[in-house]
A = this chain, B = another copy of it.
Amino acid sequence: MSTTAEHGPVPRERDRAPKQDRSRATRQRLLEAAVACLAEHGWAGSTVAVVAERAGVSRGAAQHHFPTREDLFTAAVEYVAEERSTALRALFPAGPGDRRAVVAALVDLYTGPLFRAALHLWVAASNEDQLRAPVTELEARVGRETHRIAVELLGADESRPGARETVQGFLDMARGLGLANLLTDDTTRRERVVAQWADLLDTALG
């Protein structure tokens, strides 16, 4: 228990803190609304105005946080990706877990609204010059972090020849499974594929 909590913050901090909290909460609402909007309506249907309305925030406040549309949507995908990474690590607090459970949890990263939103952003970036650089950089950053988590939770020893590429190929497979789930519910097929490849990965990683 901190002394500050017992005696209360000094006056100037007390004034500033709630304002910072409100600002952070507004930012968070905008980011979450942006990902949901992208996942549901795609890039063409996702503007700062639509997201501001969905988040219940004025357009001016939205633009204060995110000066451009590109800023808002790349920040949104990054924020949600970080949230997902944190949640994934929390599922396996003791580190490397049962490999089949880890494989299933990693594949789950690619079948929800975050993947759908990221996919819209990637595809839009392939045709829109303003999006290309920030999205390429974002994809690389999120990809490295996901790879790091996968190696850790699968207990893969990357000093062994082929282990790195085994994990990379598995994450590519997870991304492909996400794509296969875009238009139809692919759950039944996916579960069989995941069960089979969890066994193959287990053998390959030793």
Spell out A's residues near B (CB within 8 Å): 40-42, 44-45, 116, 119-120, 122-127, 132, 135-136, 139, 143, 162, 165-166, 168-180, 182-184, 189, 192-197, 199-200, 203-204
Contact = CB atoms under 8 A, between A and B. Distances in A.
Contact of A193 (B127, B169, B184, B200): B169
Those 3 A-B pairs whose CB atoms lie nearest each other, nearest first:
A176-B176, A175-B176, A172-B176
20 contacts: A42-B127, A123-B182, A125-B183, A126-B183, A135-B183, A136-B183, A136-B184, A162-B196, A162-B199, A166-B196, A166-B197, A168-B189, A169-B194, A172-B173, A172-B176, A172-B177, A173-B173, A173-B176, A176-B176, A203-B203
A123 B120 contact: yes
Residue among A40, A179, A203 with most chain B CB within 10 A: A179
A41 B192 CA distance: 36
